[in-house]
Structure 1
Amino acid sequence: MKSGVKSVKELNLEDDFLFAKVMTDESICKIVLEKILNIEIKEVKMPEEQKVINILAENKGVRLDIYVNDDQNTVYNIEMQKGTDTNLPKRSRYYQGNIDINMITKGKKYNELRKCFIIFICTTFDPFKQGRHLYTFENRCNEDPRLVLGDETTKVFLTTCGILDDVDQEMLEFLAYIKNSTDKVASESKSQLVHKINEKVQSIKEDKRTEVEYMTLLERDERNREEGRNEERRSVAKNLLQRGLDDEFVFETTNLSLDEIKKLRQELELN
């Protein structure tokens, strides 16, 4: 295990890997959604883990932590957000747009777009700095807030950093457990939701296959990051070569090998 990298035993629900593993249990996903949205759901179905939407190759795709449908064909997207992200409102808009485009194919009618909830659970910051634990947004008329647009889209932001008395005790205990997913925290909770989730968490952590899956995922992510860094270095190198700078300068600037720089120069000359 690399320094600074948590082991499976040390993971909390706020960590993407554990969150996704727990929420693939459809019975747990159902009760979590019911709790957050204060609704009743007959059943949920998960078409795939961490659904990836790539509408166009040249556009930025999205990898959704949890993407589920219910028995009424409503779509729910849940994202665990660890670390400050001031662009969450725009990000939620982008996710909504991609989900909508993915739902409807050319020639279909707009009324085939399904009801959709985008949910962000923020564990290290209050996205709107109003002290709330829960923020729910729908499109309404400025002139008459009673008038709802009716586009059937809702964006919900839940945070562990709230200070107001705006949610019930079970929600507070659920939020506390997200940050510290241990038997001790669960044992101190009266919430059946927390107890049920903790049983799943401990089962996942004790499964020997989980460690292999976790390490495989970490290695894949590290490869992807390295490929991204290499692609960025190649892009910088091409730009420098096009400006007439010599191979030695490009080498010192990008840390690419001289052989790779020569190949890039040959590619540019051919084009």
Structure 2
Amino acid sequence: MEKEWEKRALEEWERLSIQDNFIFQRVMQNVKLCKWLLERILRIQIREIRYPDTEKTIDVRLDSKAVRLDVYVADEAGAVYNIEMQTTKGRDGELPKRARYYQAMIDMDLLGKGVYYDDLRQTYIIFICTFDLFGLDERIYTFRSRCMEQGDLELGDGTTKIFLNAKGLRGSVDEELADFLHYVDGKEARRTFAQEMAREVARVKRQDETRREFMTLYMEYQKQRRAGVEEGIAQGRELGIAQMAKKLLRAGMTIPAVAQMAEMPEEAIRRIAEEDGIPAS
């Protein structure tokens, strides 16, 4: 069985591209490429960037859900940049809400280090999407807080959220960035920047240590998946109960009532409600 998993792991490894977080994170560890990408997206000059963590994990409270950020860097002025590769759209409204959640967690992380709220840094949350999240064919969608009554008046809270669309054809963007987006969409890299990215992907995939790391993760996943299948009957029952509990909670039933019907502790039902964002009491 392990030989078969190893064979599949190698096949998966060969298929990996810039779209896969495992590769994207490692490519973005190339300071020059990460800096170039930010400069092209934001149309600014950055003197230098630094990496607080290879893969930033923020867990500001013991009872909060931790968030793991793909690429988290800061520049010489202290501005913070979070870059995420996104290949799935999810439910309607999910990605904008995730951007909001990431923003809140980054702010809480900064405040937890002794920063006063009026000293919060400029933050940029950037999703590189392989799909058009908003369906308007723009290559880039940039969001900042503005006054509804006075459209030219910005709130000035220092936050920017950007969604790149690898399939977009509209909008004036740097030609190098447009070609990079085509490359992310699976097309041939034609210009210097995208070609540099492609070479870095190839370099990362030539590294024996990185390949072994991926194969270890893949095989561990397969082992856990097999163990899960063997426990499938019990897990299936638990999953069915959880799904039914969600339906009852959404229908307006109270946590104690659902707990009694499901023969589960109230705390477990409360956790199900919180994890799915269902308001319940």
- TM bin (shorter chain): 0.7 to 0.9
**Partners of 1:45 and 1:116 in 2: CA distance:** 14
1:39 positional shift = 0.8
Quick one: which of 92, 104, 111 aligns to 1:97? 104
Distance 1:97 1:41, change over 3 A: same
Alignment of 1:134-173 (within 5 A): 134-173=140-179
Count, aligned residues: 236
Distance 1:2 1:99, change over 3 A: farther
Alignment of 1:59-70 (within 5 A): 59-70=64-75
The amino acid that maps onto 1:210 is T
Q: Give the secondary-structure state (helix, strand or coil) at the position aligned to 1:135.
A: strand
In structure 2, the gaps of 5 or more residues are 1-5, 246-257, 264-281
Distance 1:50 1:233, change over 3 A: farther
8 Å contact from structure 2 (residues 89, 95) kept in 1: no
- Using structure 2 for the length normalisation, give the TM-score: 0.74
Partner deviation per Cα, 1:140-184 (whole Å, 9 max, x = no partner): 111111111111100000011213243343222101212337xxx
Superposed CA RMSD in Å reads: 3.1
1:12 positional shift = 1.2
8 Å contact from structure 1 (residues 76, 119) kept in 2: yes
Quick one: which of 129, 141, 144 aligns to 1:122? 129
Moved over 4 A (4+): 1-6, 219-227, 229-232, 234-237, 239-245
The amino acid that maps onto 1:111 is D
**Partners of 2:171 and 2:114 in 1: CA distance:** 48
Q: Give the secondary-structure state (helix, strand or coil) at the position aligned to 2:40.
A: helix
Distance 1:199 1:118, change over 3 A: same
Partner of 1:174: 180
8 Å contact from structure 1 (residues 45, 68) kept in 2: yes
**Partners of 1:244 and 1:111 in 2: CA distance:** 48
Partner of 1:213: 213
8 Å contact from structure 1 (residues 13, 179) kept in 2: no
1:234 positional shift = 8.9
1:109 positional shift = 2.0
Q: Give the secondary-structure state (helix, strand or coil) at the position aligned to 2:153.
A: coil
8 Å contact from structure 1 (residues 116, 153) kept in 2: yes
Distance 1:217 1:130, change over 3 A: same
Work out whether 1:31 is the aligned partner of 2:28. no
- Using structure 1 for the length normalisation, give the TM-score: 0.77
The amino acid that maps onto 2:111 is I
Percent sequence identity is: 39
Distance 1:51 1:223, change over 3 A: farther
